[in-house]
Structure 1
Amino acid sequence: MRIIRYLEGAEVTLAAVTDDNTVHPLPFRDLMEVVREAKHRQMSTVSYIQTLISGKQGIHKEIGELNLLVPIVAPEVWASGVTYEKSRKARNYETVEKAAGQETCYDRVYNAERPELFLKSTAARTIGPNDPVYLRSDSNWQIPEPELGLVLTQEGEIVGYTIGNDMSCRDIEGENPLYLPQAKIWKHSCAIGPAIRLAETVEAPYNLQLTCRIYRNGQLVVEESANTRQLKRTYDELVSFLIRDNEAFDGTVLLTGTCIVPPNQFTLQEGDRIEIEIPEIGVLSNPVQSLIRQTIIHQ
């Protein structure tokens, strides 16, 4: 079972999507309200939703016909770094330290007990499916980073899985790791969606296939796949460090790192389209636009 949010006229609707792709509107504003009410009733979230939609036909539209919104208004989106071997290799390729044959900070964090975690985005900065991701104006080497996202309660319970696009500037981070916030955080640099797969309905969370496709002028120019079984750390491990001596909020999303990195000579261009697919969740699709052009348009 998946959870989506969509716009019907001027009204935002929360809905459950069953395995036969039937869309059932729910009488709540967001997923975390459903989770809290299910706990109050001492029921699982899925069981409670099933009582709400039992005997109802759903709407006469398929999910592809809906104006989808970000599936949860996450107060914060955090991200994990260097959790896959390919990510470590990509970071090392960027850094000037590696050219001198030194062990890098990425080598060290990959093998360390403590993972790399950083604040990626806030609700105001996070976009959903079909909205444009922006290119940072002072970077010449930008890529998407496809990731599995964990949807958390304030206690750190994983209630769902979503898809995340952690847009990144490889040249800025490679110049100096202390530039990480600038390499990761700018307007429309984080997309999540198109849905949240409830955790109870995922039998093998460490066997989820991710595929990233990038289209340019209508032609497929990048297609790569990976699997969450390649992840070096467990989800619970990452969550435990996130909530350690830290205040988390209901609906926080934690991105778990990427194992898909486009070829080193590749950089995104305005007009590209990024698709990230996890079959159990859906396809997160976003066009690429120039932040400079958007600024001029809105002045």
Structure 2
Amino acid sequence: MRIIRFLDESNAAVLAALTDQGKVFPLPYADFLELVRSAQQQGSTPLALVQRDIAGTSPLPSNLEQLRMIVPLEAPEVWAAGVTYEKSKEARNYEATDGKLDAVTFYDKVYDAERPEIFFKSTAARTMGPNDELYLRGDSNWQIPEPELGLVLDAEGSILGYTIGNDMSCRDIEGENPLYLPQAKVWKGSCSIGPAIRLAEAVEDPYRFQLACKIYRNNEQVVEGSATTGQLKRRFDELVSYLTRDNEIFDGTVLLTGTCIVPPNDFTLEDGDRVEIEIDNIGVLSNPVRRQRVG
């Protein structure tokens, strides 16, 4: 079972359940967190509550493609973990050493260290949803998407569900100096999540998610890659434990868990590209990429 949000004919946000058969059922809650709180108050789980709510009701006549999808929740904060896959370590090393892959860097050290890399990525106001435009940073010449599985957390760090995230990244800025990481990761329109939240109870094994990323330019596919969360170096509970260590998080916080899909080193996003990230049993997060217009 997945949870989505869309805009109705009056531009009001509607929370809905999306079944694995593609049927959409509106839900009587203002947002995802109200659903979670209602389940807790009733001594139930979100999945059981949704199943009860939609039992005996009819789905919308519209299919998913006809809906104006928006972010499945307005995450107060989005955090991200880095160098959690070997492929990510190799890519970061390439950036930092001008292609000298035999050099040992701090990325090798953090990959093998007890403490993972965790950084702040986005706020609700900065986070885009399905089909929203993402932007290229004006002072970078080497930018890529980073397809990632996102953990939707409550204030205690429990995993409520799973979503898709695009952690846009400037490889040249990060490679120039690791202290530039915030600028390499955070700018207007540099993060998207969606299109759905897969409820945690509906996931048998979160280390079996299949990820795929396709990038289109002039309606032609120019990049394609795939991975699985089974390739992760670190466990989700480990990442969450460090995020919440001496740190306050909020209901609805999203933690992106790192990427294992990296475009070729000679590739950079261009104005007009479209990025599609798919995770099985969650959906496809699609975003056009634009260069910001000045003046």
SS of 2:207's equivalent in the other structure is coil
2:23 is aligned to 22
Distance 2:26 2:75 in 1: 20
Q: Is the 8 A contact 1:130 1:286 kept in 2?
A: yes
SS of 2:267's equivalent in the other structure is coil
Give the superposed CA RMSD. Answer: 1.2
Give the unaligned 5+ runs of structure 1: none
2:64 is aligned to 63
The reply on whether 1:211 has 2:212 as its aligned counterpart is yes
Structure 1 consecutive aligned stretches of length 4 or more whose deviation exceeds 4 Å = 97-102
> What is the one-letter code of the residue matched to 1:7?
L
Distance 2:29 2:46 in 1: 13
What is the deviation of 1:30?
Answer: 1.2
Q: Is the 8 A contact 1:96 1:175 kept in 2?
A: no
> What is the one-letter code of the residue matched to 1:22?
K
1:194 is aligned to 195
Distance 2:105 2:98 in 1: 6
Write out aligned runs for 1:75-114 (5 A): 75-96=76-97, 99=100, 102-114=103-115
2:12 is aligned to 11
- Describe the shift of the 1:17–1:158 C-alpha distance in structure 2 as closer, same or farther (beyond 3 A): same
TM-score between both structures, scaled by the size of structure 1? 0.96
- Describe the shift of the 1:283–1:101 C-alpha distance in structure 2 as closer, same or farther (beyond 3 A): closer
SS of 1:284's equivalent in the other structure is strand
1:279 is aligned to 280
1:236 is aligned to 237
1:152 is aligned to 153
What is the deviation of 1:193?
Answer: 0.5
Q: Is the 8 A contact 1:98 1:104 kept in 2?
A: no
1:136 is aligned to 137
1:2 is aligned to 2
> What is the one-letter code of the residue matched to 2:154?
T
Distance 2:126 2:101 in 1: 37
Distance 1:47 1:236 in 2: 24
Identity score, percent: 65
Q: Is the 8 A contact 2:2 2:19 kept in 1?
A: yes
Deviations 1:55-78 (CA, angstroms, capped at 9, x unpaired): 000211111110000111000000
> What is the one-letter code of the residue matched to 1:3?
I
Distance 1:287 1:35 in 2: 31
What is the deviation of 1:97?
Answer: 8.1
1:119 is aligned to 120
- Describe the shift of the 1:219–1:6 C-alpha distance in structure 2 as closer, same or farther (beyond 3 A): same
What is the deviation of 1:163?
Answer: 0.4
> What is the one-letter code of the residue matched to 1:252?
T
What is the deviation of 1:103?
Answer: 2.3
TM-score between both structures, scaled by the size of structure 2? 0.97
Distance 1:12 1:36 in 2: 19
Q: Is the 8 A contact 1:212 1:260 kept in 2?
A: yes
Distance 2:251 2:99 in 1: 40
What is the deviation of 1:98?
Answer: 7.3
Distance 2:238 2:54 in 1: 35
SS of 2:208's equivalent in the other structure is coil
Residues matched between the structures, number: 294
SS of 1:182's equivalent in the other structure is helix
